[in-house]
Amino acid sequence: MEVLIIGAGIGGLTLGLMLNRAGIACRIFEAAPELKAVGVGINLLPHASRELCALGLEEALAKVAVITREYCFFNRFGQFIYS
Ligand SMILES: Cc1cc2nc3c(=O)[nH]c(=O)nc-3n(C[C@H](O)[C@H](O)[C@H](O)COP(=O)(O)OP(=O)(O)OC[C@H]3O[C@@H](n4cnc5c(N)ncnc54)[C@H](O)[C@@H]3O)c2cc1C
């Protein structure tokens, strides 16, 4: 039995690592011909970071990540909502 994962985004790749860790074979299919950086950052929320850390990726993540200092929301007029 093999788990088929459709999509090699952060979700599919994380699932692949989790299954691998659990000893469950999987195969990941990706429609894009190549994976490449698009030059944008992604804000990893605590629940997502926790899963990556559980996979032993905390040190690697810390090397490339910018630790969140503050998280604020503003409306389209630039007025502060909450932080
Ligand atoms: C501009 C922008 C900014 C964002 N910023 C954040 C952020 O800061 N923090 C955050 O948590 N989220 C952010 N998101 C949402 C973010 O995209 C998702 O949280 C995250 O990428 C979802 O990961 P995923 O693996 O589920 O999907 P995706 O990253 O979309 O990956 C899905 C993959 O499946 C592939 N695929 C699709 N259909 C098929 C198929 N039929 N066969 C094979 N492969 C297929 C696609 O090519 C793609 O590579 C942002 C989204 C956008 C558009």
Confidence class of residue 52 from pLDDT cuts 50, 70 and 90? Answer: very high
**How many structural domains is the chain composed of?**
1
Is residue 42 a contact partner of residue 14, using CB atoms and an 8 Å limit? no
> Which pLDDT score is estimated for 68?
86
Determine the distance separating the centroid of ligand 1 and the alpha carbon of 59, expressed in angstroms. Answer: 23
Burial code of 60-71, b = ≥16 C-beta within 10 A, e = fewer? Answer: eeeeeeeeeeee
Q: What is the pLDDT of residue 2?
A: 95
Q: What is the whole-number distance in angstroms between the Cα of residue 10 and the centre of ligand 1?
A: 7
**pLDDT value at residue 41:** 85
Domain of residue 60: give its range.
3-32+41-82
